[in-house]
Structure formats: structure tokens, C-alpha cells
Chain A
Amino acid sequence: MAEVTMTVNGERRTAHVAPETTLLRMLRDELQLTGSKLGCDVGDCGACTVMVDGKSVNSCLMLAVQADGREVLTIEGLATKEQLHPLQQLFEEKGSLQCGFCGPGVLMSAKALLDENPDPTEPEIRDALAGNLCRCTGYTKMIEAIQAVAQLRHERPAAKSVA
């Protein structure tokens, strides 16, 4: 067994896992963070997307031991107790999610995109979501919501620093 310590959603978390445990399994089984989903387990669907040290990754394609000492952000860390993240707010308002299973991964990909590129073009948004398969929505209302969040930053420059 390997001891893995990482910062998850701002908190230090430690778990003892078998060496072959993926980050996704550790998050779901050990830390009870079931927001990240297992849809294919081989990196095709993106439902397991989380951020590690600020970059979006497929948590099913990373061993937990590889994330040792790193900073992990999952869907559970996107909102504060007081406030939804603007992406969550706009996804809700625009009806961007239907069955919702791909949602946590899509939101993390969108968050990673906006962190790097606060004002993305539509093709850039499509490129950023290409690793997240969705069968319900045709991606249309997700893209609209991400554009709306970007637009929000124009209207409220202060929002830039938080998303």
C-alpha cells in the first residue's frame, strides 16, 4: 500500500491505496468525492476530468501516487459554501446539462479553459470540450453558457480573478 497525500479542494487529504489505484478511484472510493464519474475508464469520455496543479486531466489515466503532493480540484471544490461558481450558475440557467453525468467533467474542462483563456472564441471552447463526450445536449447549451460566463467577465472585470 502506498500513502498518498494531496491537497483536494483546498484541504490536505491522505489515503492509503494500492499502488495501481487511479486518482479517480482514490477520489471516489477513499475520499467519497463521487462527483467525478467513471464513464469509460480509458480517457475517452472525460467524465472523470479534474484539475491537477491547475491543468485538466483524466483522473482515470493518472495513478493516485502520481498526484502525491499535488493540488487537486474536483467538481466538489468549484463552488464555495456561499456561492455557485459562475459556470455552475450559467449551466443551470441555460439548461446546459441534461442527464448530468458528463457535467462534472465538462465543468472542470470549462474551468480550466477560462483560467487560461478568459475570453475564448467559439472554436476554442469546442476544442476545450473535445475531450468530454456528451450524448444529451449536442454541446450547444454548454458552449452558450461558457460564452456567457466569459461575457460576464467583460461586464464585471472583478469576476476575472475568481473563476
Chain B
Amino acid sequence: MRAFEVFSAKDSQHAVALLAQHAATSKVKVLAGGTDLLADLKFAPSSHAPAVVVDISRVDDFRGIRKTKEGLSIGSLVTHTEIMNSPIIRDLFPALVDAAHTIGAVQTRNLGTLGGNLVTAVPSVDSGPTLVALDAVVTILGSGGKRHMPLAEFFVGPRKTALKSDELLAEIIIPTENLGKPTHFLKFGLRKGQALALVNVASSIWVDWEKTTFKAARVALGAVAPKVIHATSAESFLEGRPITREAMEEAGKLAAGDARPISDMRASAEYRKDLIAVLTRRTLEGAYALAQAKRTEK
């Protein structure tokens, strides 16, 4: 790797101060888990190399998974392994556990963080769809203070987020009204281990058990648009509709229509659309099965 200076932040305030201090004059990168950043920097040409790296991996106030009055807060430095092992997440959102499990392999999941994954903002970001389907909100910390925004808006485009140069992603909040909302995540990759997503889909639903209809259905798609998107036509189609296989099938087709995939070396746009249709239906089936299971538990 090309030479750079490393400044290690002691806490979140220090991290923001370091960013503000260096971002004005040098090319700065933030180091959390490092799995994406260091891999990127290894073969980077000189034009892309940072002069300064702000290491936030020891910022403890970006850690922790806890229930707050806003909902479930997940610190940006929570690793994928911690998500997989968190009793509260396993209980409330098994889909988040599944999503974390599809990222890299054990070694990268031990290092890689939720915040780091989201900040890459690659269209195929594996942590994205489930959180978007749960209407997650992010907390951003900067020299100007704190601000919040929906995760869906945090993603701006391929490798682009709403973060300003002196800002950091502090936490991800799943709002109270969605705690325990049945959600299902599926990723389709080119192999089973260490797979990169051709597409990934997450659906979350509430069920109106009296009418057996969908309520507040959310379908989020990854890797098929410049950023993670809501399949809005599928979502509005499902609202209030009786839960049937046909409805899920139709939602799949609509979601495929909402997707704007590209053709690249991994797959063609056409194939990605076909996968979206199938995976959307399957995530809806999965979410409904989970809803039924939760209901029986009670």
C-alpha cells in the first residue's frame, strides 16, 4: 500500500474533529473494519490513494445494539458477526442475521462493520435491502452536530452517500413501529461462499389477520439500480391485497419492472430482472411464513 498517515480516534467527537481537521487539506479515508477500504487501497493507483486515514475502529460509542425510544439502535461499528450473534436481532430480525451471514466469510465478518458496509454504498450492498425494507433511519454525526435521515436517502448513487467530508455514520435505527416486523432476505450470488450479490431482495410485511391481507408491505431491491431501492409499484400493489401466491407472484413481476439493472460481467440485466421476480415472491413467502410462525408462538 502507498504511504498514508493514520490518526486513531479515541471517541466519536475526536473522530469528527480529526475528519474536520484533515478533510479540508488532504484526501482522507475513514477506516472502520477495513475489509473494503484496505482491499481497495492495495492496488489503487496513486491518484486514488489517501494521504490520511482516520481510524475509528476503537470508537466505542459507535458500538452496541440496544433498544431506545426511537427503536432498535445498531452502532455503525457493530460487526457482521456481532449482528449474527445478537440475541435481540436474532429474535426480532432473523433477516438481518441472514443478510450478515451472506457477507464475505467468517474472517471478513469478524472485521467488517455494518456502518462500513453501508457507507461503501455499492449497489449490491448486502446490509442495505433488509434495513431499507424496515424503513431504517441513520444517525449522522458531524462537526455541525447530529442529523437523521432514512437509509434509503442516505444512499445517493453507486459508491455515493449523503455523508459530507466531515461526517460519520454513527448508528442505524430500526423504528419502533417496525420492531419484530416479519422480514425475509434473499441474496443470489455466483457461488455459495464469499458470494457477491447478483441481486438481493428483502421484503417486510405486517399482516392484517382479520382479512388476511398485506399491510405496510415493503420490498427493497439491491444490485439492480444505482442504489438500494424500494420496489414501489410492488409495495403499492400489495397494500391491502389478500395474501395469495398469485399476489406474491404479481408483486414479483412488478418489482422486476421497478428494477433498473445493468448488464455486467456477472450477469445480464434481463437475468437480474428474472431473478428479482422470483426472489421477491420468495421473500414475500418467507416473510409471510415468519409472520405465521410468530403468530402461532403467541
Contacts and interface: CB of A to CB of B under 8 A. Distances in A.
- The answer to whether A and B belong to the same complex is yes
Interface of A: 2, 18-20, 22, 41-44, 46, 49, 55-58, 60-63, 65-66, 109, 112-113, 126-128, 130-132
Nearest to B39: A42
Contact of B111 (A20, A46, A58): A58
Nearest to A42: B39
Given A57-B111, A127-B193, A132-B105, 14 more contacts: A18-B3, A19-B5, A19-B6, A20-B4, A20-B53, A41-B42, A43-B39, A55-B81, A58-B35, A60-B38, A126-B193, A128-B106, A131-B108, A131-B193
Contacts of B192: 130
Q: Do most interface residues of chain A lie in helix, strand or loop, or is the interface mixed?
A: mixed
B107 A43 contact: yes
A22 B107 contact: no
B194 A130 contact: yes
A49 B105 CA distance: 11
22 contacts: A18-B3, A19-B5, A20-B4, A20-B53, A22-B1, A42-B43, A43-B35, A43-B107, A43-B108, A46-B105, A55-B81, A57-B111, A58-B35, A60-B42, A61-B35, A61-B111, A63-B34, A63-B38, A65-B6, A66-B55, A128-B106, A131-B107
B6 A55 contact: no
B2 interface: yes
B195 to A, nearest CB: 9
B6 A56 contact: no
A63 B107 contact: no
B8 interface: yes
Contacts of B3: 18-20
Contact of B107 (A41, A66, A109): A109
Indicate the member of A43, A44, A56, A128 with the most B CB atoms within 10 Å: A43
A126 B192 CA distance: 10
Q: A2, A62, A113: which has the most chain B beta carbons within 10 Å? A: A62
**How big is the B interface, by class?**
20 to 34
Contacts of A131: 104-108, 193-194
A112 B104 CA distance: 16
Contacts of A42: 38-39, 42-43
B232 interface: no
Contacts of A65: 6, 8, 55
A127 B39 CA distance: 22
B57 interface: yes
B6 A58 contact: no
B30 to A, nearest CB: 13
Contact of B1 (A20, A57, A62, A113): A20
Contacts of A20: 1-4, 6, 53
Interface in B116-144: none
Contacts of B43: 42
Q: Which of A66, A109, A113 has the most CB of B within 10 A?
A: A66
Contacts of B35: 43, 58, 61
Interface in B159-200: 192-194
Contacts of A132: 105
Contacts of A49: 107
B110 interface: yes
Contact of B34 (A2, A62, A113, A128): A62
